[in-house]
Structure 1
Amino acid sequence: MMKRIGGSPEKALNNDFKLDTNALLQQAWNLTKSTILPLLGALLLIWAISQAGGYLLQSFFDFQMPETPEEFESMVLPTGFVLSMLVLYFFLLLPMQAAMYKMGIRNAAAVEAEYPETYKNKPLMVFNYLSNPFRYGGVELLRGIIPVVALVIGIMIHPFVGFALAGFVAISLQLSTPLVVQDGLNPFKAIGVSFRVIAKNFVPFLVITFVMIVLVFLSALLLFIPLLWFVPMYYNLIGLVYKDVFGIEVEISDQADINTVV
């Protein structure tokens, strides 16, 4: 039998939830201690495929990346190279990135699941969504494009307005991909639901985003090595947030369900 733990879609849409940012960050940190290896393995696969794909396309189109500012200014990208990179990005890398959110949600579910071993991740799960790139890559693409559109519109008013609006929109769309991979919403509906829910309760999401940005900047002081921890932690954090906001269905035994009712 299935039981929804954490929040629920109804409560989320009615703004009937509270997020304890300190507790969520602490939970994400602790959860990462036991789940980091599969996440790192999946991230390594994404990195390796992106590097290999870029190298092969550069070789095929006989294109060399510029090494000096002068070469960069005079750089002309071959049309075929650009189109091929876009295909690689949309049909391969974006669905793989969407799968990372699903892995974070599975880790969050395992915390309260009766059978946590069934939610263990494997690095190869990063390939789970390649069969439907228009759904899983599409939502990731929309998440990237919409804040840029907001930036352009806002800058027409004032640069500060542009960056503030883009930041607000980007944060408000944070749960759109999890809504697609976990609850099966189509990309456009997921975008709308995520924006509606987060915009009404924006401050906790702003705090979480700010903390993660600070951690990235601090990582720069150590050659970005701490990102090997913070990036997996980010996906676990989003999974925990999703659980508290929308809830996650987990499998329970019939006996456990009877005991709950009694």
Structure 2
Amino acid sequence: MQANNENQETVVIGGNLNDAVNGQYTLSLSDAFKQTFELTKKHWVPIFLGFLAFMGILIIVSFITVSFLPEAWLEEFSTPDKPLSKQALLALSLFGAAVGAPFWGGLLLMGIRHSVDIPTKAADIFNGFSKAGPLILTLVITSLITQSSIMLLTELHWATGILAQVYLTTVFAFSLPLVVERGITPLNAIFYSVRIINYKLPAFVTLMLIVTGLIILSLLMFGIPLIYIVPLIFNLVGVVYKEVVGVTVNLDQEQPKDDNKPWTA
């Protein structure tokens, strides 16, 4: 977020990026969840409505896209007992990443703003389009690395493929937030995310597994809990991001600023 006029001062609330990339931060999962539950009580409606809008747009885009797919792929889709080829799966994954990246950025930015108790509205899911190019590039790169690694390692053993998915999904978690909130370039954002999260990898993996468990549990209950779980997840990402990296906000009067200029890879 940039200052709107000369009288505004940008400050950072929470962690410090310089400290984070050097592993000098603490992360309490219990405190993070406590903050998240309190914030979600106040800010769950905008994220949920925004997420519904995103899903609706994604469905429409998917229907339009199907009409342009190669006939060979369409035949694969129409044959339930025949798995999709690796090339088709990878292409669909990258396409989904490119289409969804600006919306994911908007949703993540909403959660980040909620972490410092700044209200949002459902239309804020479109705020990610101001950084659409970097967000798309970031998500395409991380998706390409993740999917390629899973495919290769699954050839060795199914367990190594799962471990690769868990690890890469976890270490890339801060990539999009760093792009959309700090305006960091895609490659640096990916580098920072991997470096930061590796310092406290067990805690972040635990966090990711808890989130995955909540989603699976919600689906087993016909998806009804997702009304609350979806906003909670985005707010949780915002809270953890705030505690580790810090969130930039604008004040109307001068205040001391943290030295949060990131170093480059």
Q: TM-score range by the shorter chain?
A: 0.7 to 0.9
Show structure 1 runs of 5+ residues with no match: 111-118, 258-262
| Shift in CA distance, 149/48, structure 1 to aligned 2, threshold 3 Å | same
Would you tell me which structure has more helix in proportion to its own residues? Answer: 1
Choose which of 25, 44, 48 in structure 1 pairs with 2:33: 25
Further displaced range: 151-160 or 196-205: 151-160
Task: Return the letter of the residue paired with 1:34.
Answer: K
2:100 aligns with 93
TM-score of the aligned structures, taking structure 2 as reference length: 0.79
Partner secondary structure for residue 27 of structure 2: coil
Give the superposition deviation at 1:91: 5.2
* Larger-gyration structure (1/2): 1
Partners in 1 of 2:158 and 2:200 — Cα distance?
25
* Structure 2 counterpart SS, 1:223: coil
CA separation of 1:163/1:243 partners in 2, compared to 1, >3 Å: closer, same or farther? same
- Residue 233 of structure 1 and its aligned partner are, at CA, apart by 0.7
- Residues 16, 49 of structure 1: alpha-carbon distance in 2 compared, 3 angstrom cutoff: same
**Residue of structure 1 in register with 2:261 after alignment:** none
- The 5-angstrom pairing of residues 231-246 of structure 1 reads 231-246=230-245
1:30-179 map, 5 Å:
30-58=38-66, 71-73=79-81, 89=96, 92-110=99-117, 119-130=118-129, 132-179=131-178
Aligned partner of 1:206 in structure 2 is: 205
Q: TM-score under structure 1 normalisation?
A: 0.80
Unaligned runs of 5+ in 2: 1-8, 257-265
C-alpha displacement at 1:255, in angstroms? 7.1
**Deviations 1:49-80 (CA, angstroms, capped at 9, x unpaired):** 1122233445788x9x99xx984347999xxx
SS in 2 for 1:249: strand
Distance 1:244 1:87, change over 3 A: closer
Shift of 1:9: 0.9
1:6 aligns with 2:9: no
Question: What is the Cα deviation at residue 247 of structure 1?
Answer: 0.7
| Number of corresponding residues | 241
| Percent identity between the two aligned chains | 24
